[in-house]
Structure 1
Amino acid sequence: MDVHGGKYGTGGIVYASLGLKPTEAIQKYIIDKDSYSELISFEILNQYTGDFIIRNVFDDMPDLSGDAIWNALPAVQNNRIIDIDFGFSYYSDIYSAAAQIKYVTEALLRAVE
């Protein structure tokens, strides 16, 4: 599973533009290494997730609804998953970045209502 830092797609929006704080693992193993993303084992996903999970969705992606590891994550249990189309989150031009900021901000606000 790929986990993104602040240099790629929505990670840049979340950490750089919105100023949200990454988890310790994302900071240490991705951002501090100046990496765009890192491939991690699904079994250690809990070390990388925080209060929210913003995930890229795409056609034919695996259905995780029955997975014990996925369902044990606090963000999943608290219904704080924000799905964003992979194609939408891929680009970082000013128009796409502004649209992503708006989308993520509105999704975060809806999630905490």
Structure 2
Amino acid sequence: MQLQAPERIQKELIDAGETYKQVSYEVLPEYAGDYIFLDESKGAELNKEDALWLSLDAVKNNNVFYLAPDRFWPYDPIAVLAQVEEVTNMLIDKKASEK
């Protein structure tokens, strides 16, 4: 899909072979990419009026996707394959709607 990871993500996660990193909210701009997939399940809630959140390019460009917990919490091989396909379709649909 020709997507590029932010430099910091490339270095600290992809090149390092890491699959997960917890960062504080204050440094989110250093890690945020052109698209954000947000999971607010299990009681999580994000203040979508917060200045830092609103300053992110993905938010400004309406490139935030909200993940349904019932679809994205299961972690078995069949569910993960379906999740990858769904995320891919989200991105394809977004690109198509921009044309």
The TM-score with structure 1 as length reference comes to: 0.70
Partner of 2:50 in structure 1? 67
Structure 1 gaps of 5+ residues are 1-17
Amino acid at match of 2:91: L
Structure 2 gaps of 5+ residues are none
Partner of 1:108 in structure 2? 91
- Bigger shift: residues 64-73 or 78-87: 78-87
Partner of 1:48 in structure 2? 31
Partner of 1:3 in structure 2? none
Match status 1:77 vs 2:60: yes
Deviation at 1:87, TM superposition (A): 5.3
Cα distance change on mapping 1:37 and 1:86 into 2, 3 Å: farther
Judge conservation of contact 1:79–1:111 (CA < 8 Å) in 2.
Answer: no
- SS of equivalent to 1:97: helix
CA RMSD of aligned residues (A): 2.1
Q: Which has the higher contact order (CA 8 A, sep 6+)?
A: 1
Q: How many residue pairs end up in the alignment?
A: 95
Deviation by residue 1:1-44 (Cα, 9 ceiling, x = unmatched): xxxxxxxxxxxxxxxxx673321111111222222211112111
Q: Distance in 1 between matches of 2:25 and 2:8?
A: 14
Kindly indicate which of the two structures has a greater share of residues assigned to strand: 1
